[in-house]
Amino acid sequence: MFKTYTNNEQFNFQINRFMEPYYNDPEIQATIKTAVAQIKDQESWYQVWDKMGVTAEKNAENALASAYYQLADFFLPEADVRKKETYAAFKRTFYNSIDTSNIEFETVPYEEGTLPVARIKQPNATKTLLFHGGFDSYLEEIIRLTLDEGLTNLKDYNFILFEGPGQGKALKDGIPMTYQWEKPVSAILNYYHLDHADLMGMSLGGYLAMRAAAFEPRIEKVIAFDVYYSMLDSFTMKLPKQALAIIEKINNPIIATEINHKLALAAIKNVDLDFKIRKGNEIMATSKASDLIKSVKKYTLKGVEDKITQAVLLLAGDHDMYVPTPTLAYEANLLINAKSVTKQMFDEKSGGERHCQVGNKSVAFDKIIQFLKG
């Protein structure tokens, strides 16, 4: 179940996200508690987790080290000179912690670059699941979930796990994110000569996957893990109505300048806002908050809902810090041409009430596996 390590919502969520496999280890939980007491800001966050990663790696605890290194890496800007080293340490310890004998690592041509792919093939499988992340996930997180949460027990499935534009190494190679997610999905399908496949997106990927399904008829089942109708919701769901009205006028240069100034001041003392703006600018290749907002507004299913004809699974938590709770019912009702719509709202009793069921991801994957078997 989701744990409270700190009163900082963003810090707390990320610790739960990456340390969930260690919930029942009292020694590691005690170590985390000691670590959190030393964290005051994003710089101390990096220092604490990086030091713990080094120690764990020296002790040959590679899985634990990779989790610590990913935490250390999380808030570092792409331009930070320490990012390359921390990212490399995360990848090194991650791959030292898993069996890669059944994973094929490849790259798929995409526009002027390539997309990283990890492919898991199973004997006699006739189906394929494409699985990708969202706003800030790495391919390795998708691999870990696939291996640890029972997906490979679906013996009739092969798996193509990938980083798309604006994600992981693709971002580091200079490929910004696109709201037209059918483009990378089509590139993957074409490269592997797939006439049909299922598609799952995690976090913001819940929007991206649904968007791709609207324009890619080769997708037969689509999973939003979790539901995500509009990316702008994540930036505005906690703002007062007056602020929302101002954002609607973002194309006015005077208002855009005012928004840049106010958000810059607000982000100084707000880790969550600072992270969203900085990371958003990185993945969208924008430089100002106002330009980021203009880009983010394109990431919505509004106007394309009727193009989604697949069997759909929508997952949601009723304490999601990025997606308003009413989104689940709202989006489901708009999918008027979907072959079928299965929706699941997880509550606190289930342990899956948080974004992407962080705290108890197994309840989400139970539903995902059930849906794919159907």
Which of the listed residues 51, 67, 96 is the one where a domain comes to its end? 96
pTM of the model as a whole: 0.94
Q: Give the pLDDT of residue 239.
A: 72
In a domain, 1, yes or no: no
Give yes or no for residue 263 having a pLDDT over 90: no
Q: Decide if 2 is inside a domain.
A: no
Task: With beta carbons less than 8 A apart as the criterion, state whether 197 and 212 touch.
Answer: no
| Residue 118: both structure tokens together | 């990890």
How much is the pLDDT for 264?
A: 84
Question: Is residue 286's pLDDT more than 90?
Answer: yes
Q: Are residues 223 and 325 in the same domain?
A: yes
**What CATH number does residue 174 fall under?**
3.40.50.1820
Using one digit for the tens of pLDDT, what is the confidence trace for 251-261?
A: 888 888 888 88
Q: Is the pLDDT of residue 177 over 90?
A: yes
* 327-344 mean pLDDT: 98
DSSP assignment of 114-125 equals: EEEEEEE--TT-
Those residues whose C-beta lies under 8 Å from the C-beta of residue 87, and which sit 6 or more positions away, are: 73, 172
Pairwise CA distance, residues 351 & 4, whole Å: 13
Give the pLDDT score at 159.
Answer: 98
Q: What single DSSP character describes residue 276?
A: H
Same domain, yes or no: 199 and 320: yes
Whether residue 202 sits in one domain with residue 312: yes
Residue 223 and residue 148 in one domain:
yes
Spatial distance between the Cα atoms of 221 and 197, rounded to a whole number of angstroms: 7
| 34 contact partners, CB below 8 Å, separation of at least 6 | none
Domain boundary among 36, 65, 96: 96
Domain coverage including residue 21: 9-96
Give residue 314's pLDDT: 98
Same domain, 242 and 224: no
Weakest-pLDDT range from 62-76, 231-245, 317-331: 231-245
Please tell me whether residue 224 adopts helix, strand or coil conformation. strand
User: Are both 130 and 205 inside the same structural domain?
Assistant: yes
243 shares a domain with 155 = no
Q: Using alpha carbons, select from 64, 85, 66, 67 the residue that is nearest to residue 76.
A: 85
Domain-ending residue, one of 276, 296, 316: 296
- Between the two ends of the chain, the Cα-to-Cα distance in Å is 28
The whole-chain average pLDDT of the chain stands at 94
pLDDT band at 237 (very low <50, low <70, confident <90, very high): confident
In a domain, 48, yes or no: yes
Residues 75 and 158 in one domain: no
Q: Are residues 285 and 353 in the same domain?
A: no
Give the pLDDT confidence of 336-352 residue by residue, as tens digits: 999 999 999 999 999 99
Residue 208 burial by CB count (10 A; 0-12/13-18/19+): exposed, middle or buried? Answer: buried
**pLDDT tens-place string over residues 180-218:** 999 999 999 999 999 999 999 999 999 999 999 999 999
Query: 118 with 215, same domain?
Result: yes
The C-alpha atoms of residue 150 and residue 166 are separated, in whole angstroms, by 27
Number of domains making up the chain: 3
Question: Looking at residue 258, what is its pLDDT?
Answer: 84
Per-residue pLDDT at 316: 98
pLDDT at 164: 97
Residue 88 within a domain:
yes
Q: What is the pLDDT of residue 251?
A: 87
**In terms of domains, do 217 and 325 share one?**
yes
